[in-house]
């Protein structure tokens, strides 16, 4: 019985250590830099490729129902705001690998870049603890807002419009 309590305490300590060590990305801080593999091509994409763009960076997984529910909204935003120097950028946390993510991209006709996040990517963004989690980034590379969970189109569009215009 004592060993079970010790395991539980160690697990709790480990979890709390991770949470406390994660420095959350707050509004006004710079988007962390990264170099990640494109889910379709495998080619390396660096964060500076998006320099000067307004971004909605969203962490997701193929097995996450709210993430799947959000895809039509993200596709719509990408279409509506493509001429406004805006892009959705999806970062997959799928452990199953890029082939599963590529299949979803094709099935859903996703029209925005999808990259494979590393464990450090979520940590660099402040310890993303749930998905979907999205970050609105202005054209100067500053985090404007963090959205934990699914966010309706109307709210995202309003917030994006407020920093584009």
The CATH code belonging to domain 25-164 is: 3.40.30.10
* pLDDT of residue 154 exceeding 80: yes
Inter-residue contact 136 to 160 (CB < 8 Å): yes
pLDDT band at 27 (very low <50, low <70, confident <90, very high): low
What kind and span of H or E run contains 114? strand 114-116
CA 55 from chain centre, in angstroms, equals: 10
Nearest to 64 by CA among 123, 133, 146: 133
∠ CA(107), CA(108), CA(110), 5° rounding?
120
Percent of the chain with pLDDT over 90: 78
pLDDT: is 3 or 145 the higher one?
145
pLDDT: is 19 or 1 the higher one?
1
* pLDDT of residue 111 exceeding 60: yes
Can you read off the two tokens belonging to residue 33? Answer: 């830099």
| pLDDT at residue 26, rounded to an integer | 55
Question: What Rg do the C-alpha atoms of the chain give, in angstroms?
Answer: 17
Rounded CA separation 136/142 (Å): 8
pLDDT tens-digit map of 70-88: 999 999 999 999 899 999 9
């Amino acid at each position: 019985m004592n060993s079970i309590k010790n395991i539980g305490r160690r697990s709790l300590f480990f979890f709390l250590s991770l949470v406390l060590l994660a420095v959350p990305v707050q509004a006004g801080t710079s988007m962390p830099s990264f170099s990640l593999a494109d889910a379709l091509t495998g080619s390396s994409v660096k964060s500076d490729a998006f320099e000067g763009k307004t971004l909605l960076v969203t962490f997701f997984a193929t097995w996450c129902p709210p993430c799947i529910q959000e895809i039509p909204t993200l596709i719509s935003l990408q279409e509506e705001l493509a001429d406004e120097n805006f892009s959705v950028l999806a970062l997959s946390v799928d452990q199953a690998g890029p082939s599963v993510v590529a299949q979803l991209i094709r099935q859903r006709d996703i029209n925005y870049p999808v990259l494979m996040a590393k464990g450090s990517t979520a940590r660099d963004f402040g310890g993303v603890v749930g998905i979907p989690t999205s970050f609105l980034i202005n054209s100067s590379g500053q985090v404007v807002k963090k959205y934990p969970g699914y966010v309706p189109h109307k709210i995202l569009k309003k917030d994006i419009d407020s920093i584009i215009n």
